[in-house]
Structure 1
Amino acid sequence: MSDWSTDDTLYFRGPLDMTRAATAVLDARGVIIGWSPTAENLLGYPPGQVIGSRVDTLLLNPADPGASILRRLRRTERSKAFDVRHRDGRMLRVATTMVPLADGVSGPAWLLAAAHLGELHDWDSHQAMLQGLVTQSPIGLAIYDTDIRLAWANAASGLELDGPLESYVGTPANDLYPGGVVTPGYPKSLQEVMRRVLETGEPVVDLHFRGRPPADPEHDYIWSCSYYRLMDARGQPLGVCEDAYDITERYRSEQRLALLVRAGARLGATLDVAGTAREVAGVCVPDFADAVHVDVQPEVIDGGEPGADTGARPLVCVARQARSGSDAAADPRSPHPGRDDLVTHPPGTPQASSLAGGTTSQDDARPGDDAPTRLVVPLRSPTAVMGLVTFLRDHSSGPFGPHDVELAEELVGRAAVSMDNARRYTRERNATLTLQRSLLPQRLPVQTAVEVSHRYLPADNVAGVGGDWFDVIPLSGARVALVVGDVVGHGLRAAATMGRLRATVRALAHMDFAPDELLTRLDDLVRQTAEEVAEGVEGGEGRVPDQDHEDEAFGVTCIFAVYDPVSGRFSAARAGHLPPAIVRPGTGPALPDVPPGPPLGLGGLPFESIDVQLPEGTLVALFTDGLVEVRGQDIDVGLRKLQEAVSEHTRSLEELCDRAVATLRPNAPTADDAALLLVRTRMLSDRQVVLWDLPATPESVGCARATAARQLAEWGLDRLSFTTELVVSELVTNAVRHASGPVQLRLIRDRTLLCEVSDTGHTSPHLRHAAQDDEGGRGLFIVAQLVHKWGTRYTTAGKTIWTEQDIPG
């Protein structure tokens, strides 16, 4: 800022001030007897050309006698405007005024002052503007001296003072507004801000200041302030001028708009009723209210429909938040949660009125009352009132105005939509989870082949329920099938598809298909189902034509494995799925090279299986990609972490499962669900399995009966001898009569007694009711009535007929 010069300060004395104006001395007849240098500069005439002339000779209209000029100037003390001729011939419009000097005929009588009329108009305008700033301007103006003490204030600034200006002159700035807060980025107090302006001369523009003026020390106001240094004629600082404009309402409007913007960004992000309630409270405190309570009907939390008749029913407090140190946090008029967070609003309270009428209620504090002001807005769904949002303000924060009520209703309306969406989502998710849990194994079957542990990790609330599944299926011959699958997509249809596929896999597994054959048949079924669905949509049957008709089973992945505890053989095939992780005793983890077949439903390539030998105590981990796949990370990293997590095979399976989950899903749940099936293999000892090769002759039947009876006696199972001899006799007889080649008899003592007869034939026997005159056909029917289970499985060498009997005790 440049310093003022002495000449510049003359501007404030006015153009007709004798120290600035062009002056001429006149006698009583109007003759010029004195001529100033300023007059020469204004009109161009040197003193020698005008002294002794009448003043009217300078006018453009010389017909006007000088006496008339004198009479016109004498009538009023106000200035007059005349057209005068410059020496170069041009016309000038000047303002003039006259001051009497003496009352004589020949001596000086008048002092005539003149100036450009435009300068006078400008000066008058500026004077009017300054007068308006002092008396009428809505902008507060204040001047602080070099000690940052109040020296002067205009009328607008004086309204903030609680008394006459004289009683506040000399008060330091910080004492006028104690506890005020300055915009971040500036010094902490107004006094420090003005001290910097005074020292540096750099102005401060649009600084926001929050404080309480002396005239209203109970409420906060916001001002937009600017500061600049004042200098005297000698260039020395006089002090600091403050321009302050009350922007409280504008600031609150901006805050209300910003509040709605923040609410729009946060509300509805959790798809959870309680989470939405906490978001409402978090958005509103402390910018809109000092405390917020959110109460909802108990049914709403679990996704149920809100009751239409709320009455005096207790609500559940799902969110309470208050500004630190606020009196509203301990409002004695607001009910506090009791047992189980239930809140009851008695009749006559604003909350009860809002519940009954579904309208906004307000309870303002009475004058002199320190109780908070309450504003209660109902949470309305399309069918009923779901709950209430109670806003509270300390009495120092001021009551809720009409704009605040509109803002609260808009905010709660948005929250109600989000909360109703969360309620509906919760209901659907609960239904889907119930379906999914019912479709997953409730209890794994008891069997000897493997020790089993498993984990299922659902997806987060946003992604919804997934379609991952696992299963353990006991098979004939003490074998066990291990299955893990992953259905594409999320939601109810994915869960239903998962259940359908799991049931299909169990049915096919009990038919004793090899892993690759089972996946082939499952793939055919999936493709057939997808084609039927597509044909139904194209024909307009069963579905809306524009509905998404893609079946979730199309593209599903699956791995199917069979383990035989007698031979230790592990057979596996996969359809677009990740290979299993295998940890043999004494070795590190490995991923066997299981041929990667295409996902189910795509077709094109055949499925292949592998057979490997697993020693007893081998760990096998089957899992879905949701366990090892992380966005932005290569899947090999996840596979390596899983192998490391299960490498210590001597630990318990439960501990290894927990370790794998903690390593791979430390922040579960995620966007995709995951399944982990971890097994440790067992082997049946030689004392539990016996095998005999029999020739295909009628004599082999009696030999087989006797051999089986001796083995049962050795095992202490004499009580099963009669039934077993009958079973062995019938099965061996059928093998000798209807097949060719050698016959094998195998007995397995497991949790049940297994009897198996194998031959080279591929024709499966079937039950039939023999007529009274038939000589045969009753043996297999009798066997089926005596045993617990029976069936047929096929191998590359022929078939095996097997039976299973419960062991007494």
Structure 2
Amino acid sequence: MERVSAAAIVDAQGVVKGWSEGARRLTGRTAEEVVGRPARDLLAEEPPPQTMAALTGTVVLRHRDGSEVPLTLRAHAVLGEDSAPDGYMITGEPPDAPEPTLAERAFQQASMSMSIFDTQQRYLRLNDAACQGMGIPEDLLIGRPFPATVEDAEHSRGFHWHLRQVAETGRPVRYESFTGAPVLNREHAWSIEMWPVRGTSGDVVGTALAAFDSSDQYWARQRLALLNEAAAAIGTTLDVVRTAEELVGVVVPRFADFASVDLFDWVLGAEEPPALSGTDIALRRVAHGSATEGTPEAAVHLGEVDYYPPFSPPARAILESRVVQSQAGEPAFMRWVQERDARAPAGRRHRVGAHSMMAVPLRARGTTLGVAVVVRIRQSDDYVADDAVFAEELASRAAVCVDNARRFARERTTALSLQHNLLPRGLSGQAAVEVAHRYRPCGSQAGIGGDWFDVIPLSGSRVALVVGDVVGHGIPSSATMGRLCTAVRTLADVDLPPDELLTHLDDLVTHLAGDDTDEVAELGATCLYSVYDPVTRRLTLAAAGHPPPALVLPDGTTQVVEMNAGPPLGVGGLPFEAMDVELPEGSLVALYTDGLIEDRDRDIDHATAELCRALTAPTESLDALCDSVLKAVLPEDPSDDVALLLARTRALGADRIATWDVTPDPEHVAATRQAATEQLTAWGLDEAAFVTELVVSELVTNAIRYGAPPIQLRLIRDRTLICEVSDGSSTSPHLRRAHAYDEGGRGLLLVAQLTQRWGSRQTDSGKTIWAEQPLP
């Protein structure tokens, strides 16, 4: 240990006039405290008489902290003008010091910073770790108050406040602080414990402290907290770009000063991942962020494609499927920075100061989706191995979210494409109705639903208006919707009544589901099938678990049709009930799926009332009315798909319909044929007379020969010329090929060849055979 010498000047009256630095170090008392005071006040005990007489010997002084300090003193008289002693120059030093004790060695060599202060927060002693952290030798700190040795900062003021509290209250304190030290290149986390030091009398004579550097534990907790935050912040939506932006938002600025996310183009589309080779890797920038406003570090604009050479850290991370760390000064790092700066747009070369970076591959389910790059510029710490482990875990979580978003986007695109291809386009209501429609897919994570609608032309100028909803979302629901839509068109072509059609459709859904009742519920669907006849102006409808339509009459009154809806399709066992509604010409019929009025956050009756009000809004067209209804009724973020079908009814006047009752006698066929020809002449359709005579003759003859009375002929002049023959028999004819020697069987074949299409439908009183031919 260093040997310290002391010196003091005492006048003839025993008052201290001078005090050396060595005396301060040995006694802990500064010159300001000692000069002007009697020297006797510094003694711990009276010196022996022989020492006073010889002006030399061992004297025990009282240290400022109350301890005793033995010194070997020697006094030298200072003579005045009359050669009389005017004072004394006293020098002294400790007697030969013994070897430090084990406790002293432990204090001095402790790995944690340890210090001792007096009650005025002046340094009394420091160990080697404390001096190393302060960057100041112990002899320059002893006796100086703590505030004079540090910069005035919030953490310094807090430290000083705790020192005073311990000295004043005598209670120990333990707390944590995050701050730097004069010789450390970054801020550290410290676990600090302060406790009072008491003298023999029990009074507080000083304060001791120990500070443990807990930075490793602190940063580990920060990384864990960041991972927990990432679990909640990343993947809040099923959007690829938004997910990448959330990853950047988590790491900047707490983990990096700049971060970027680049993805392969196939991640943003529907293609499969290509095989990677040793050539430059093309990636598209989807997100980046910086602690500096404007993101000056970005050499690539959002949405642009950049090419990474194989030596670059991002390319290595992708090719090697591991985190690649790189620091300033390393050849690969400097080469990459220079190469990127050379290709960066003017004014974007701002990588000066970047000293540490990591490239982290984004891998999910064994597939590499892209790479994330994090760079430190202002943060002085380089990335270490623990940071790489953290980045790999964070990137793994983010990659799964990106892949989920990619898969959802792909499935949604496929389902939406399937939906659009299956839904009817260019709907035509013939002369019966004017139609407009809208389909609005929901934006929820569940995906596209199975809502659908259709307008199906039927015989006799009638038209079927259909709307349905398949349970569930995604491709399975869209596929089921397509099967049901096709089935409805097939059954409608048979001209079944609405209730019978739904019964057959219910059997189909049950057949699709098989015998598993759970699958029946999963494949369940609702449907509303209605048929409008412009001749009678009657709307016949039946529903399977579907909301009833809304009507707007020409006088502006609105109503929801009161009907007994049967169970949803797939339940089975219960019949469906059809009902008729007579509508004035120009009535508006609104068919819709439940997504329009049903939502967990609103009342269905209120939503239905809003729908009725919206349907009466004045608009230029039915298309505009569709948009107006959706805007007025739908919430901002609907939770389900919506299909809306609007139909404005028309009526065929008596001038476009001709009807004759036919006597069931073959001799009256000619008269009936003549009446039909005269009607065509009245309509100005003489060119169609020849084919019409043949059709009427064949159909009426068959009704007389094979049918049952009453027999009726009806001609309808619509977009086509329709010939209908009704009779009381329920037996329907069928087309067959006649053999060479058959005398009959060629009539229907002739009708099929001369007309555009033909068919039969069952009625309450029998059947109707019909044929359509285009107008000249």
TM bucket normalised to smaller: 0.7 to 0.9
**2:494 corresponds to which letter in structure 1?**
M
Asked if the contact 1:455/1:657 (under 8 Å) is kept, the reply is yes
Residue equivalent to 1:84 = none
- 1:306-345 equivalent positions in 2, closer than 5 A: 306-310=273-277, 311-325=279-293, 329-331=295-297, 335-337=299-301, 340-345=303-308
Residue equivalent to 1:636 = 605
Q: Deviations over 1:721-762 (max 9, x none)?
A: 221222122222222333333432222222222222222222
Q: Quick one: which of 289, 295, 305 aligns to 2:262? A: 295
Q: Quick one: which of 637, 642, 653 aligns to 1:668? A: 637
Instruction: State the distance in 1 between where 2:421 and 2:284 align.
Output: 30
**2:188 corresponds to which letter in structure 1?**
Y
Asked if the contact 2:163/2:194 (under 8 Å) is kept, the reply is no
Instruction: Kindly state the Cα deviation for residue 135 of structure 1 after the two structures are TM-superposed.
Output: 7.3
Q: Quick one: which of 242, 251, 258 aligns to 1:275? A: 242
**1:513 corresponds to which letter in structure 2?**
L
User: Please, what is the CA RMSD of the aligned residues?
Assistant: 4.5
Instruction: Kindly state the Cα deviation for residue 294 of structure 1 after the two structures are TM-superposed.
Output: 1.0
Asked if the contact 1:429/1:465 (under 8 Å) is kept, the reply is yes
**1:737 corresponds to which letter in structure 2?**
R
Residues 750, 225 of structure 1: CA spacing in aligned structure 2 closer, same or farther, 3 A cutoff?
Answer: farther
- 1:103-118 equivalent positions in 2, closer than 5 A: none
Q: Quick one: which of 727, 731, 736 aligns to 1:759? A: 727
Asked if the contact 1:455/1:676 (under 8 Å) is kept, the reply is yes
Asked if the contact 1:454/1:657 (under 8 Å) is kept, the reply is yes
Say whether residues 1:138 and 2:112 are aligned partners.
yes
- 1:207-286 equivalent positions in 2, closer than 5 A: 209-216=177-184, 219-224=186-191, 245-286=212-253
Q: Quick one: which of 757, 762, 767 aligns to 1:799? A: 767
Q: Quick one: which of 157, 161, 165 aligns to 2:134? A: 161
Residues 554, 413 of structure 1: CA spacing in aligned structure 2 closer, same or farther, 3 A cutoff?
Answer: closer
Instruction: State the distance in 1 between where 2:411 and 2:264 align.
Output: 18
Residue equivalent to 2:560 = 591
Instruction: Kindly state the Cα deviation for residue 370 of structure 1 after the two structures are TM-superposed.
Output: 1.7
Asked if the contact 2:172/2:196 (under 8 Å) is kept, the reply is no
Instruction: State the distance in 1 between where 2:172 and 2:542 align.
Output: 76
Instruction: State the distance in 2 between where 1:645 and 1:226 align.
Output: 72
Q: Quick one: which of 301, 315, 318 aligns to 1:355? A: 318
Residue equivalent to 1:113 = none
Asked if the contact 2:619/2:625 (under 8 Å) is kept, the reply is no
Instruction: State the distance in 2 between where 1:152 and 1:621 align.
Output: 92
Residues 315, 773 of structure 1: CA spacing in aligned structure 2 closer, same or farther, 3 A cutoff?
Answer: same
Instruction: State the distance in 1 between where 2:623 and 2:197 align.
Output: 80
Asked if the contact 1:754/1:804 (under 8 Å) is kept, the reply is yes
- 1:380-419 equivalent positions in 2, closer than 5 A: 380-419=363-402
Which consecutive residues of structure 2, in runs of 5 or more, have no partner in the other structure? 1-27, 29-40, 49-59, 61-69, 72-100, 331-350
**1:288 corresponds to which letter in structure 2?**
F
Instruction: State the distance in 1 between where 2:150 and 2:166 align.
Output: 19
Structure 2 counterpart SS, 1:513: coil
TM-score (norm 2): 0.75
Q: Deviations over 1:468-504 (max 9, x none)?
A: 2211111111111111112222233222222111111
Instruction: State the distance in 2 between where 1:659 and 1:249 align.
Output: 62
Instruction: Kindly state the Cα deviation for residue 508 of structure 1 after the two structures are TM-superposed.
Output: 0.7
Asked if the contact 2:520/2:571 (under 8 Å) is kept, the reply is no
Q: Quick one: which of 604, 613, 626 aligns to 1:657? A: 626
Instruction: State the distance in 2 between where 1:709 and 1:173 align.
Output: 121
- 1:540-559 equivalent positions in 2, closer than 5 A: 550-551=519-520, 554-559=523-528
Q: Quick one: which of 397, 421, 432 aligns to 1:449? A: 432
Instruction: State the distance in 2 between where 1:766 and 1:139 align.
Output: 105
Instruction: State the distance in 1 between where 2:692 and 2:218 align.
Output: 93
Instruction: Kindly state the Cα deviation for residue 706 of structure 1 after the two structures are TM-superposed.
Output: 2.8
Instruction: State the distance in 2 between where 1:794 and 1:150 align.
Output: 111
Q: Quick one: which of 418, 428, 438 aligns to 1:435? A: 418
Asked if the contact 1:296/1:317 (under 8 Å) is kept, the reply is yes
Instruction: State the distance in 1 between where 2:366 and 2:146 align.
Output: 61
Instruction: Kindly state the Cα deviation for residue 253 of structure 1 after the two structures are TM-superposed.
Output: 0.5
Asked if the contact 1:583/1:649 (under 8 Å) is kept, the reply is no
Instruction: Kindly state the Cα deviation for residue 154 of structure 1 after the two structures are TM-superposed.
Output: 4.1
Instruction: Kindly state the Cα deviation for residue 515 of structure 1 after the two structures are TM-superposed.
Output: 0.7
Residues 590, 369 of structure 1: CA spacing in aligned structure 2 closer, same or farther, 3 A cutoff?
Answer: closer
* Mean Cα deviation higher: 479-488 or 270-279: 270-279
Structure 1 counterpart SS, 2:547: coil
Instruction: State the distance in 1 between where 2:547 and 2:167 align.
Output: 73
Instruction: State the distance in 1 between where 2:378 and 2:580 align.
Output: 80
Instruction: State the distance in 1 between where 2:558 and 2:167 align.
Output: 75
Residues 444, 239 of structure 1: CA spacing in aligned structure 2 closer, same or farther, 3 A cutoff?
Answer: farther
Residues 133, 631 of structure 1: CA spacing in aligned structure 2 closer, same or farther, 3 A cutoff?
Answer: farther
Instruction: State the distance in 2 between where 1:652 and 1:227 align.
Output: 83
- 1:504-519 equivalent positions in 2, closer than 5 A: 504-519=487-502
Asked if the contact 1:484/1:675 (under 8 Å) is kept, the reply is yes
Q: Deviations over 1:766-792 (max 9, x none)?
A: 223334444432222111101111111
Residues 400, 137 of structure 1: CA spacing in aligned structure 2 closer, same or farther, 3 A cutoff?
Answer: closer
Instruction: State the distance in 2 between where 1:745 and 1:388 align.
Output: 77
Asked if the contact 1:197/1:228 (under 8 Å) is kept, the reply is no
Residues 778, 549 of structure 1: CA spacing in aligned structure 2 closer, same or farther, 3 A cutoff?
Answer: same
Structure 1 counterpart SS, 2:675: helix
Residues 723, 215 of structure 1: CA spacing in aligned structure 2 closer, same or farther, 3 A cutoff?
Answer: same
Q: Quick one: which of 677, 688, 702 aligns to 1:720? A: 688
Instruction: State the distance in 1 between where 2:110 and 2:266 align.
Output: 61
Instruction: Kindly state the Cα deviation for residue 223 of structure 1 after the two structures are TM-superposed.
Output: 3.9
Structure 1 counterpart SS, 2:760: strand
Asked if the contact 1:197/1:229 (under 8 Å) is kept, the reply is no
Instruction: Kindly state the Cα deviation for residue 164 of structure 1 after the two structures are TM-superposed.
Output: 5.0
Instruction: State the distance in 2 between where 1:204 and 1:637 align.
Output: 67
Residues 160, 192 of structure 1: CA spacing in aligned structure 2 closer, same or farther, 3 A cutoff?
Answer: closer
Q: Deviations over 1:659-716 (max 9, x none)?
A: 333344333352x323222222222233333333333333542333333333333333
Residues 396, 143 of structure 1: CA spacing in aligned structure 2 closer, same or farther, 3 A cutoff?
Answer: farther
Asked if the contact 1:753/1:806 (under 8 Å) is kept, the reply is yes
Instruction: State the distance in 1 between where 2:364 and 2:566 align.
Output: 50
Asked if the contact 2:119/2:167 (under 8 Å) is kept, the reply is no
Instruction: Kindly state the Cα deviation for residue 242 of structure 1 after the two structures are TM-superposed.
Output: 8.2
Structure 2 counterpart SS, 1:489: strand
Instruction: State the distance in 1 between where 2:376 and 2:222 align.
Output: 16
Structure 2 counterpart SS, 1:482: strand
Instruction: State the distance in 2 between where 1:289 and 1:273 align.
Output: 22
Asked if the contact 2:698/2:748 (under 8 Å) is kept, the reply is yes
Asked if the contact 1:562/1:572 (under 8 Å) is kept, the reply is yes
**2:261 corresponds to which letter in structure 1?**
V
Instruction: State the distance in 1 between where 2:715 and 2:114 align.
Output: 106
Residues 714, 230 of structure 1: CA spacing in aligned structure 2 closer, same or farther, 3 A cutoff?
Answer: farther
Q: Deviations over 1:352-403 (max 9, x none)?
A: 2223333322221249972242100112345543211111111434210110
Asked if the contact 1:584/1:618 (under 8 Å) is kept, the reply is yes
Q: Quick one: which of 137, 151, 163 aligns to 1:176? A: 151
Instruction: State the distance in 2 between where 1:190 and 1:711 align.
Output: 108
